Structure 1
């Protein structure tokens, strides 16, 4: 029986090592978070972002996270955001390849350094010509009058869960495969 336990444990460890490399969760700015004092160009310098990875922005109530176009990023233009977040912790999934642009929507903060460009490659590390867009949690949308509307949330929603900086995460698909293999392993040894 001890051989079975060690064999199964070893198999699970090997399988989990394989699946852990599939997606990463990056804490933007690491321990400093989304703030005026961070050099985000340096922060992204040693990272490779792939489809399936996520960004977690941690910030206080004096900031926002706005996804913007390349032009608005370059000029630090506020008010035309593709999506805007203001919950204090926002997790944004990188679902497409290409450059993704983020700024703080508070006037003067972008020009003060609160801007981030993330170049996302395909899951295999290769760039793609797919359109650049992301999905994220609870974005707000701007109205034609410039007001910002934020969707209502309930206490049961847990979309903005902080994670370890640059930690590996198991994708739902990999987790399902992992569970299926473990179940099959149990059936074969039963």
Structure 2
């Protein structure tokens, strides 16, 4: 849509420019006209006629304008005109390049110099309008590849520290009674016949004997003191 609008604007501008550049020439002017007293060919040679220009013929009622061929122009022959104009004020557009020939149809006027050759030049064609360059398409920005993020190790969760209980001092250290090695009596040795000796009396038996002995000794001492 934007390109079409641009081309239309260029075309309209070219048309307006051609209209603005088009010139209108009064034949024989400004000091003369379409008559027998003006050097019409000298005037035409000094004018740069271009396509789009206009010729204006201003003349008296006893004159007219005939467009003729090159042959009729040279021989002032008015019997076979291409186009005849009358009315005293004629405008002829120069729509194409090339030479055109005009004479007066009144008897004897052409031979008296009332004729003109118009050489129309092609206008310099305006440079072709370059198509409007469309705006550049915005390329989507490619985001940079996301680098793999190393997970940050979370700090170790500390278990609530239990209050340190003071070390309990031992109320009493257990005392180990020394083990008294028992001396091996000669009876513990094997008898000559190889029989196993009877086991020694247990410590409980020894204790009972000692208690009985102590009680008896105490009783005896009490008796002696009582005497």
TM-score (structure 2 length as normaliser) = 0.46
Deviation at 1:19, TM superposition (A): 6.2
Q: Deviation per CA, 1:47-74, whole angstroms, max 9, x where unpaired? A: 1111100000000011010000000000
Q: 1:86 to 1:70 in 2, by over 3 A?
A: same
- Greater gyration radius: 2
Deviation at 1:45, TM superposition (A): 2.3
Q: Which residue of 1 aligns with 2:28?
A: 29
Greater RCO, CA 8 A, separation 6+: 1
| Equivalent residue pairs, number | 110
Stretches of structure 2 lacking an aligned partner (at least 5 in a row):
1-16, 126-227
Q: 1:19 to 1:69 in 2, by over 3 A?
A: closer
Q: Which residue of 2 aligns with 1:87?
A: 87
Give the whole-Å Cα distance in 2 for the aligned partners of 1:109 and 1:74. 13
Q: CA RMSD in A?
A: 2.1
Q: Which residue of 1 aligns with 2:213?
A: none
Q: How does 1:34-45 map to 2 (within 5 A)?
A: 34-45=34-45
Give the whole-Å Cα distance in 2 for the aligned partners of 1:103 and 1:116. 7
Q: Which residue of 1 aligns with 2:163?
A: none
Give the whole-Å Cα distance in 2 for the aligned partners of 1:45 and 1:96. 18
Q: How does 1:1-190 map to 2 (within 5 A)?
A: 22-31=21-30, 32-124=32-124
Deviation at 1:21, TM superposition (A): 5.4
Point out the structure with the larger strand share: 1
TM-score (structure 1 length as normaliser) = 0.54
